[in-house]
């Protein structure tokens, strides 16, 4: 098989991988912030609930979590899910998992802020919301970008885990083509794809980091 | 009516009673210096007056308006909502370590609260900001960021930031303790010029000469009480209590 045919075979898978990546980020970045706020809540019930959630999400394999989200509705609740659920299950599983990781990154950033910033904002009459979004979060984001970059790069590679519930992302396709043709090339192409993807991600994140480095 | 009145204030941290029973009044246009050894409760008093700390007993009034409501058990609670906002608008605070917003330019540090908490237009806020920065000798620095400034310049920005909201009284919590002597003098100069304009100020300081020079009223605090107070001449020139004598002697 020539390279062009191989790439066109893989391209559908690539699009799915990119979709999983993008949707996971769009959902888990804001969700992570909400989880972080729950984790820091004054309400002990909410705080401990979120703590347990994060502990499970980080303490069990993502692969297992995907299977629970996909098979759970049927085996636990007896619900038969519609055809397209496979893909949504991947997105739900990824978003819930990454939100837990992002939450801890947000929390680390928020807790690293000095109390003086809050006090100055209070004295100047900012509301709690204004303080959080105008004063605290912009500084937090700048501090946590390197950790976020790490997670985002891991996410690119993790998208391949969708194969466990037979969502045909890039890696699933590569494996199928490779075993059908008894050929290494699809794996090489897959490797190159993930590498280039991550190269782009790292470059973009570096741009963002530089853009936020206008102060110290 | 006093601009600020503190009535029988008590404040503990756990078992440690930091403020035992303090009452004081500050009149419009007065400059009050609070001096005393470390741990005497000066900064806590200021933090209570600016509502950064809760209080255990007593009351704090601005222009006769109480900043606390007492519940049935006699425990004071901060007023809330619009009342709290109004009380907060009466005062500003300059911190020891400035607490500027590092991600905002100098101009934005001074004007952001005007725009977002007092709903001033950007033009109006920038006008106020420019005037204040000129007064602080920082007109060249409006686009700089705090990290590009010296400590003295940062403290002057923070004074401008506090003044922008047009407070009736400005509190200073050891405004020069984080600065070397050269930078200290430029900040003290600014505070002196404010005193000449009859800005009401309450200043916690270790700079005895400055306190002597700028204050109308000096309060010497020791172990959570006002050990002695009076005009600078009285407190520095002819202290009555032995504790004050010893403290002031230590500074000569």
State how far residue B245 is from chain A, nearest Cα, in angstroms: 35
Q: What's the rounded mean pLDDT across residues B175-179?
A: 93
Q: What is the 3-state secondary structure (H, E, C) of B198-216?
A: CCEEEEECCCHHHHHHHCC
| pLDDT at residue number B1 | 86
Does the beta carbon of B100 lie under 8 angstroms from any beta carbon of chain A?
Answer: yes
CA A26 distance to own-chain centroid: 8
Closest CA to B100 of B151, B166, B174: B151
A-chain residues near B147 (CB < 8 A): 215-216
| pLDDT bucket at B249, cuts 50 / 70 / 90 | confident
Give per-residue pLDDT as tens, A25-59: 999 999 999 999 999 999 999 999 999 999 999 99
Residues of B in contact with A214 (CB under 8 A): 145
Q: Average pLDDT in the B226-235 region?
A: 95
Q: Do A215 and B102 touch (CB under 8 A)?
A: yes
pLDDT digits 0-9 by tens, B58-68: 999 999 999 99
Q: How confident is the model at residue B102 (pLDDT cuts 50, 70, 90)?
A: very high
In this prediction, residue A1 carries a pLDDT of 63
* Average of per-residue pLDDT across B65-88: 93
**Is B90 part of the contact surface with chain A (CB cutoff 8 Å)?**
no
pLDDT: which is higher, B22 or A10? B22
The first and second tokens of residue A199, run together, are 């190269």
pLDDT band for position A170 (cuts 50, 70, 90): confident
Listed by number, the residues of chain B in 104-143 with a beta carbon closer than 8 Å to a beta carbon of chain A are 112-113, 116-118
Of A119, A120, A126, the CB nearest to B117: A126
Mutate to test the interface with A, among B116, B144, B147 (most CBs of A within 10 A): B116
The answer to whether residue B51 scores a pLDDT higher than 80 is: yes
- Which residues of chain A neighbour B173 with C-beta distances below 8 Å? none
Determine, for residues B113 and A139 on separate chains, whether the beta-carbon distance falls below 8 Å.
no
Weakest-pLDDT range from A21-30, A110-119, A200-209, B241-250: B241-250
B92, closest residue in chain A (CA to CA): A123
- Residue B165 forms contact with A (CB below 8 Å): yes
CA distance B250 to A150: 56
The set of residues, in sequence order, having a beta carbon less than 8 Å from that of A215 and lying 6+ positions away, is B102, B103, B145, B146, B147
Does the beta-carbon distance from B103 to A142 stay under 8 Å?
Answer: yes
> What's chain B's average pLDDT?
95
> What ipTM was assigned to the predicted interfaces of this complex?
0.94
Helix (H) or strand (E) holding A75: helix A62-75
Q: Inter-chain contact B117–A116, Cβ cutoff 8 Å?
A: no
Confidence of residue B107 (pLDDT cuts 50, 70, 90): very high
Closest CA of chain B from A198, distance in Å: 29
Question: Residue B154 pLDDT > 80, yes or no?
Answer: yes
Burial code (b: 16+ CB inside 10 Å, e: under 16) for A54-91 equals beebeeeebeebbbebbeeeeeeeeeeeeeebebebbb
User: CA nearest B145 in A: which residue?
Assistant: A215
Mean pLDDT over B85-102 rounds to 96
The shortest CB-CB distance from A139 to any of B97, B103, B113 is to B103
pLDDT value of residue B127: 96
pLDDT at A146: 96
Give Cα B203 distance to the centre of its chain.
5
Q: What is the DSSP string of A24-65?
A: HHHHHHHHHHHHHHHHT-S-HHHHHHHHHHHHHHHHS-HHHH
Is pLDDT of B251 > 80?
Answer: no
Task: Quick: pLDDT tens for A73-119.
Answer: 888 888 888 888 999 999 999 999 999 999 999 999 999 999 999 99
Q: Is B122 helix (H, G, I), strand (E, B) or coil?
A: helix
User: What per-residue confidence (pLDDT) applies to B252?
Assistant: 61
Chain A hits for B161, CB-CB cut-off 8 Å, are: 124
Q: How far apart are the CA of A5 and the nearest CA of chain B, in angstroms?
A: 51
**What was the pLDDT predicted at B42?**
95
The three-point CA angle B155-B48-B88 to 5° equals 70
- B112 to chain A: which residues are within 8 Å by CB? 134
Name the closest residue on chain A to residue B53, using Cα atoms: A119
Separation in Å, CA B61 to CA A76, A199, B243: 62, 61, 30
pLDDT in tens, A112-144: 999 999 999 999 999 999 999 999 999 999 999
Q: Which of B78, B107, B112 to mutate to test the interface with A (most CBs of A within 10 A)?
A: B112
């Amino acid at each position: 098989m020539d390279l062009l045919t191989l790439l066109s075979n893989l391209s559908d898978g690539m699009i799915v991988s990119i979709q999983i990546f993008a949707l996971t980020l769009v959902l888990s970045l804001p969700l992570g912030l909400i989880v972080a706020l729950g984790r820091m809540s004054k309400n002990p019930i909410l705080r401990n609930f979120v703590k347990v959630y994060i502990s499970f999400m980080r303490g069990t394999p993502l692969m297992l979590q995907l299977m629970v989200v996909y098979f759970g509705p049927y085996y636990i609740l007896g619900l038969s899910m519609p055809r397209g659920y496979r893909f949504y299950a991947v997105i739900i599983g990824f978003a819930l998992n990454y939100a837990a990781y992002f939450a801890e990154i947000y929390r680390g950033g928020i807790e690293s802020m000095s109390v003086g910033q809050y006090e100055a904002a209070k004295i100047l009459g900012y509301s709690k919301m204004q303080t959080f979004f105008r004063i605290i979060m912009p500084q937090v984001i700048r501090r946590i970008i390197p950790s976020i970059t790490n997670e985002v790069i891991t996410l690119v590679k993790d998208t391949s885990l969708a194969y466990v519930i037979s969502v045909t992302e890039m890696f699933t396709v590569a494996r199928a083509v490779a075993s059908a043709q008894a050929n290494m090339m699809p794996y090489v192409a897959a490797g190159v794809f993930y590498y280039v993807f991550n190269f782009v991600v790292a470059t973009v994140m570096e741009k963002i980091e530089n853009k936020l480095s206008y102060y110290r | 009516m006093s601009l600020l009145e503190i009535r029988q204030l008590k404040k503990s941290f756990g078992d440690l009673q930091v403020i035992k029973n303090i009452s004081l009044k500050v009149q419009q246009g007065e400059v009050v210096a609070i001096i005393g050894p470390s741990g005497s409760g000066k900064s806590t008093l200021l933090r209570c007056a600016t509502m950064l700390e809760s209080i255990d007993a007593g009351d704090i009034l601005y222009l006769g308006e109480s900043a606390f409501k007492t519940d049935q058990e006699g425990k004071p609670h901060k007023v809330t909502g619009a009342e709290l906002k109004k009380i907060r608008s009466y005062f500003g605070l300059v911190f020891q370590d400035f607490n500027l917003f590092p991600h905002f330019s100098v101009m934005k540090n001074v004007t952001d609260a005007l725009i977002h908490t007092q709903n001033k237009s950007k033009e109006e806020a920038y006008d106020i900001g420019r005037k204040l920065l000129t007064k602080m000798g920082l007109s060249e620095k409006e686009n700089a960021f705090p990290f590009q400034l010296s400590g003295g310049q940062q403290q002057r920005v923070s004074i401008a930031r506090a003044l922008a909201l047009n407070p009736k009284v400005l509190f200073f919590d050891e405004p020069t303790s984080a600065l070397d002597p050269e930078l200290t003098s430029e900040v003290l100069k600014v505070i002196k010029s404010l005193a000449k304009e009859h800005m009401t100020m309450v200043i916690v300081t270790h700079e005895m000469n400055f306190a002597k020079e700028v204050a109308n009223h000096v309060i010497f605090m020791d172990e959570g009480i006002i050990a002695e107070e009076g005009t600078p001449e009285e407190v520095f020139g002819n202290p009555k209590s032995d504790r004050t004598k010893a403290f002031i002697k230590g500074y000569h």
